[in-house]
Amino acid sequence: FGKDIRETKFFRHKTITFQGQDMVIARSGWSRQIGFEIYMDGTRHGPALWDHIMEAGEDLDIRAGCPNGIERIEAGLLSYGNDVTLENTPFEADMGKYVQLDRVPTCRARAALLEKQVPDRQLRAVEMSGDPLPACTEPWPLLAGGTHAGNINSAAYSPDFKTNIGIAMIEAAYWDAGTTLVVHTPVGKRDVLVRAKYWI
């Protein structure tokens, strides 16, 4: 697609034409590799595009792959439906820095978002003690003493960091880095440490 595609800045995109169809190539992706995503209008040109990419990358031994769930958690890349849903605000997702309500005064959600700029809960990186945990397929409750403090919604064992890692929605009273909580997992209780940031 040319050198100019490689010069596309992260979270920016360019429109190109392939076999007569316009498509958008975005410098994004669900990994820390800062790859590309291609958006097409329909599927008709998909097989030809796939073949073109595989042939162009043959000398690089290109292969099909998928996102790495462990790496996603290490980097703090959120999973819609898992870590956040329509019920969450950008402030709860710890993405308030991307919300510029003063720049878009006609935004339909402006009034509601202004009221929720200080969230009652927010996503945080957490570490869990003990042996490798199974995948988190449903929310695991977090407790501070006997009080509900939030839920871990994504978890995995990180071989790179040699610990259980997770993304948790935690109530404001308990989200400070260094706070210790307890999580109920399918294999029993584990100690949890709230982190200041993600691992990578």
145 pLDDT exceeds 80? Answer: yes
Say if CB 198 and CB 75 are below 8 A apart. yes
Tokens of 21: 């169809």
**What's 185's domain CATH number?**
2.40.30.110
Predicted local confidence at residue 154, as pLDDT: 97
Query: Does any domain span residue 200?
Result: no
| Same domain, residue pair 46 and 88 | no
- Going by pLDDT thresholds of 50, 70 and 90, the confidence category of residue 100 is confident
| Same domain, residue pair 46 and 98 | no
32, 36, 40, 43 alpha-carbon torsion, rounded to 10°: -70
Rounded to an integer, the average pLDDT of 61-83 is 90
| Same domain, residue pair 109 and 21 | no
Residue with the bigger pLDDT between 183 and 69: it is 183
Predicted local confidence at residue 52, as pLDDT: 92
| Same domain, residue pair 44 and 139 | no
For 185-197, give one letter per residue: b (16+ CB within 10 A) or e: beeeebebebbee
- Helix or strand run (H / E) with residue 19: none
pLDDT digits 0-9 by tens, 6-46? 888 888 899 988 888 899 999 887 766 778 889 998 888 89
Helix (H, G, I), strand (E, B) or coil at 97: helix
Q: How many CB atoms lie within 10 A of CB 8?
A: 16
The domain in which residue 44 lies consists of 3-60
What's the sign of the alpha-carbon dihedral 130, 135, 136, 137? Answer: negative
- Going by pLDDT thresholds of 50, 70 and 90, the confidence category of residue 88 is very high
Rounded to the nearest integer, the mean pLDDT of the chain is: 91
| Same domain, residue pair 110 and 163 | yes
